[in-house]
Structure 1
Amino acid sequence: MPGVEHIFRVRHVGPNGFKGSIKMIKRNLLVMGLAVLLSACGFQLRGTGTTELALKELDVSARNAYGETVTQLTRLLTSSGVKVYTGAPYKLILTNEAENQRTASYSGSGRSAEYQLTTTLNYEIHGDRDRLLLDSKVTADRSYVHDGNNLTGSDQEAAQVRQEMRNDLIQKLIARLQQLTPARLEELQAKADAVAKAEAEADALEAAQRIRDATPQQSPVEIPTR
């Protein structure tokens, strides 16, 4: 297993760099464990012990159609028994995935800094007649240390932290999908239909008013008196 040899090879670095390398090893082990769990067909949602989803058929898309997030999400949905294909009755659209990074602290020497990462994944669910049923988001937060004495190790740690965050986002999103029971989906569809009907009626009234405003008004015909 070539990956194991790479993980446990620690270079000679300063005290700060050594601490960063140990931390990186721990993260490597954690990411490896998460990858095994998430790729297994027996994947279970956090705190539920089940992968049952009411959404048995789903059209999944994203702005980045070939990105790691939508690819991993599609794989997990499929392994959970969801049929993912274009034209499914329900659509899950990953509308935006944004990362925010800020500096949390600096070391006394100024060679190391701790960064706080926050990633937000916005998504929409569309139902019958492509009507919007749900517009929401999930977030993930992590921190990592950038060591100026160990740039390679710091870059690897940052990449692993981002992978952990992606795993967390996907798990949270699937947990949200699990909450969409058939009754909840019917309720959301009914609300979306009502909104669409109200908008259509308002548009019709507005169009009728424009026609009336554009129609010349005729003066009443006066009948001459004898």
Structure 2
Amino acid sequence: MIKRNLLVMGLAVLLSACGFQLRGTGTNELAIKELDLSARNAYGPTVTQLRQVLEGSGVKVYTGAPYKLILTNEQESQRILSYAGAGRAGEYQVTTVLNYDIRGRGDLPLLSDKLEVQKIYMHDGNNLVGSDQEAATAREEGRREMVQRMMLRLEQLSPAQLDQLQQTAEAKAKADAAALEAAQKAEAETPRQSPIELPQQ
């Protein structure tokens, strides 16, 4: 028994040393330790799950954090993949697309991107209740996968990348402000023509 336990422990150490991780048990730390999380649907299931996973990963989620993750738009569509006739089973595909923005200090936009998840389920015309449950399960699995993908995206952001994105955003904001000021100055210095008076007949 002791030998078996030692063998299991040895294999676990060996696999972890090779970088192996069980699916869904990633322990990669996020460079972003504080995050302001918001969504159009502030109490929707996606943002709620994401908040729980972030907090479970040691991220402090609160309003006013240095970095802000905004779930700008979440859309779901459904299409028939195969149709076997009335009252018979067919395959349906549910596609969810999530657009998001990450903003940095000064509420400057750092990056915008989107995630897309597709799930397939069976629809049986003779078992509508079961088909509804299949659809609900597919949507729930898609949501979990969406949250996992978002976490992977956040894990890929290193402190150096975040600093570079922040510097680029600040430089762009400064250039835009200078261009606006120059345009306003040029407009102010341009002499305005008085309306032409036509001679009275």
Count how many residue pairs are aligned between Structure 1 and Structure 2: 174
- Give the secondary structure class of the aligned counterpart of 2:47: helix
User: Is 1:203 matched with 2:171?
Assistant: no
Alpha-carbon distance, 1:115 to partner: 1.1
1:103-146 Cα offsets, whole Å, 9 max, x none, are 11111556332111110111111001100001011111111111
Give the residue type in structure 2 aligned to 1:50. Answer: T
Runs of 4+ in 1 over 4 A off after TM superposition: 44-48, 214-217
Alignment of 1:1-150 (within 5 A): 49-108=26-85, 111-150=88-127
Q: 1 CA distance for matches of 2:74 and 2:22?
A: 22
* Aligned-pair identity (%): 58
What is the TM-score when the length of structure 1 is the normalising length? 0.72
Give the residue type in structure 1 aligned to 2:56. Answer: S
Alpha-carbon distance, 1:213 to partner: 2.2
What is the CA RMSD across the aligned residues, in angstroms?
2.0
Give the residue type in structure 2 aligned to 1:179. Answer: Q
Give the residue type in structure 2 aligned to 1:111. Answer: R
1:145-179 Cα offsets, whole Å, 9 max, x none, are 11000000000010000000000000000000001
Alpha-carbon distance, 1:48 to partner: 8.4
Give the residue type in structure 2 aligned to 1:71. Answer: T
Cα 1:64–1:144 shift into 2, 3 Å: same
Alpha-carbon distance, 1:46 to partner: 5.2
- Give the secondary structure class of the aligned counterpart of 2:190: helix
Alpha-carbon distance, 1:189 to partner: 0.5
Contact 2:80 2:91 in 1 (8 A): yes
1:15-54 Cα offsets, whole Å, 9 max, x none, are xxxxxxxxxxxxxxxxxxxxxxxxxxxxx89588423001
Counterpart in the other structure of 2:10: none
Q: 1 CA distance for matches of 2:181 and 2:81?
A: 55
**Could you list the runs of 5+ residues in structure 1 that have no partner in the other structure?**
1-43, 218-226
Give the residue type in structure 1 aligned to 2:155. Answer: Q
Alpha-carbon distance, 1:75 to partner: 0.5
